[in-house]
Amino acid sequence: MTTADSAVPDLKNLTISVLGGTGPQGRGLARRFAQAGLTVVIGSRTQEKGAATGAELAAATGGAITGTDNLSAAEAGDLVLVVVPWEGHDQLLESLKQALAGKVVVDCVNPLGFDKQGAYALKVEEGSATEQAAAILTESTVVGAFHNVSATLLEDPEVTSVETDVLVLGDEREATDLVQALADTVPGMRGVYAGRRRNAHQVEALTANLISVNRRYKAHAGVRVTDI
Amino acid sequence: MTTADSAVPDLKNLTISVLGGTGPQGRGLARRFAQAGLTVVIGSRTQEKGAATGAELAAATGGAITGTDNLSAAEAGDLVLVVVPWEGHDQLLESLKQALAGKVVVDCVNPLGFDKQGAYALKVEEGSATEQAAAILTESTVVGAFHNVSATLLEDPEVTSVETDVLVLGDEREATDLVQALADTVPGMRGVYAGRRRNAHQVEALTANLISVNRRYKAHAGVRVTDI
């Protein structure tokens, strides 16, 4: 590219890996990226589960998407999304530290608890899942994003446009630009820079509020930033 | 009212007090409520400052707005907004505990710190400013709201429609309904129920992200909730 945004590499030349890609959120994101024409590798706890979901999504989208285990997916990806449960987040990243070195890692994890009154934010020693990932993956560039996107909408083939902003948190401009560009590949979605990693906690925790909104309004809520 | 929402008292019969109403955010909210035809009393640290700002806004809006000290404003209000700096928030509320008993109190305070890298969320022992207010004002009904609304837009007389949602946090349905109705009186603004008080922290802290957005995009950012 010779344009002003030449710092953003062409996403079509990159492999996008989605760790935890067999859960609703990861599967939904992988589906949308494959539909957008990107090369996607799903990671799962087992090679078999990953491969099965990859094959399903390839059939559903006609896209370049395959699946395998999390380690192989981490190794295959140029840009690696982490969409795993909060429980075990740290151990998984410890185990993938070498495979993820030198890469942009996008943490999409919301540390939430649930009780009768609904969802609430869990305390995280490092401040947020994104900061925990950055603390573990010292040789990767960690960005936080895709926290507030409804899995239901992502997975619904009838939804042609996912009308929401993706708040992108990070300290390295090239990496946040890249992740914004990734969000922009999905129709209706817009990547918005929303601050440094130290301000990731509240974006992760805001998902608890959106769950309250969904319950009250029977919706699949997301957020848009106004005036930009 | 005989409609289904008869639980919401007619805001026109209530006095809306805005403590800290001489700062940009409080002044901006007071201006908009006065423009909407509501009766507004501004509170300030001194009676003189409050009265001066009240007179200015009465002249600017032609509305029913006056100003006085914070204690007199707290006593005068049926619905009382707290729009004071985080520093001193607890002492002020302690001093007004009796005056605010039996009332709906809307905490609008964002506990933020600032350094060279911008804004960040401060740790609050009670979890959030809203929860701190609830811990102190045990005889009031505390709601959190109006955290993410741009003071610049509120204060700009050229801005006829303030295009943003107001996330309303609280544990008592009648009170959150009332505060949503208050937000709805301002053209462009929409009150959205966004969860219980325990989920107020991230909404307060999200203001740090909006400050990052404003810096990056040269904007006066707010939030909209999608799909509702």
Distance from A205 to chain B by nearest Cα, in Å?
6
Given an 8 Å threshold on Cβ–Cβ distance, is B208 in contact with A221?
no
Give me the numbers of helices (H) and strands (E) for chain A, helices first please. Answer: 8, 11
Q: How many CB atoms neighbour CB B24 within 10 A?
A: 13
Contact A16, A182 (CB under 8 A): yes
User: pLDDT over 90 for what percent of chain B?
Assistant: 96
Q: Is residue A200 part of a domain?
A: yes
Q: Does the beta-carbon distance from B212 to A226 stay under 8 Å?
A: no
Quick check: A172 and A141 in contact, CB under 8 A?
A: yes
Question: What's the pLDDT band for A10 if we cut at 50, 70, 90?
Answer: confident
Say if B163 is an interface residue toward chain A (CB within 8 Å): yes
Provide the ipTM: 0.94
Q: Is residue A81 part of a domain?
A: yes
pLDDT on residue B196: 98
What does the pLDDT look like over B63-117, one tens digit per residue? Answer: 999 999 999 999 999 999 999 999 999 999 999 999 999 999 999 999 999 999 9
Question: Does A205 touch chain B if contact means CB atoms closer than 8 Å?
Answer: yes
CA-CA distance, A159 to A152, in Å (whole number)?
10
Mutate one of A206, A214, A217 to test the B interface: name it (highest B CB count within 10 A). Answer: A206
pLDDT-based confidence at residue B10 (cuts at 50, 70, 90): confident
Query: Does A78 fall in a domain?
Result: yes
Confidence of residue A190 (pLDDT cuts 50, 70, 90): very high
pLDDT above 90 (res A3): no
The pTM of the full predicted model, rounded to 2 decimals, is 0.95
pLDDT digits (tens, 9 = 90+) for B120-141: 999 999 999 999 999 999 999 9
Q: Is B195 on the interface with A (CB under 8 A)?
A: yes
Q: B100: which 2 tokens?
A: 């605010």
Query: Could you give the percent of chain A with pLDDT greater than 70?
Result: 96
Checking DSSP bridges between strand A118-121 and strand B79-82, what pairing results, if any?
Answer: unpaired
A228 domain residue, yes or no: no
Q: In angstroms, what separates the C-alpha of A48 from chain B's closest C-alpha? A: 36
Does a structural domain hold residue B223?
Answer: no
Q: Number of Cβ pairs closer than 8 Å across A and B?
A: 131
In a domain, B81, yes or no: yes
**CA–CA gap between residue B35 and residue B29 (Å, rounded):** 10
Residues paired with residue A115 on neighbouring β-strands, in sequence order:
A118
Asked if the model's pLDDT at residue A134 lies above 90, the reply is: yes
Residue A93 forms part of a structural domain? yes
Residue B196 placed within a domain: yes
Cα distance from A134 to chain B (closest Cα, Å)? 18
CB–CB contact A120 B199 (8 Å): yes
CATH of the domain at A152: 3.40.50.720
Number of neighbouring beta carbons within 10 Å of residue B90:
17
Tell me whether residues B213 and A196 touch, CB distance under 8 A: no
Cα–Cα separations (whole angstroms), residue B85 to A100, B45, B66: 43, 12, 21
Q: What distance in Å separates the CA atoms of residue B25 and residue B30, rounded to the nearest whole number?
A: 9
Mean pLDDT over all residues of chain A?
96
Closest CA to B196 of A125, A213, A5: A213
Rounded-to-integer distance, Cα B54 and Cα B42, Å: 6
Q: What is the mean pLDDT of chain B?
A: 96
Chain B residues with CB under 8 Å of A111 CB are: none
Does the pLDDT at position B4 exceed 50? no
Q: How many domains does chain B have?
A: 1
Q: Which domain holds residue B39?
A: 11-217
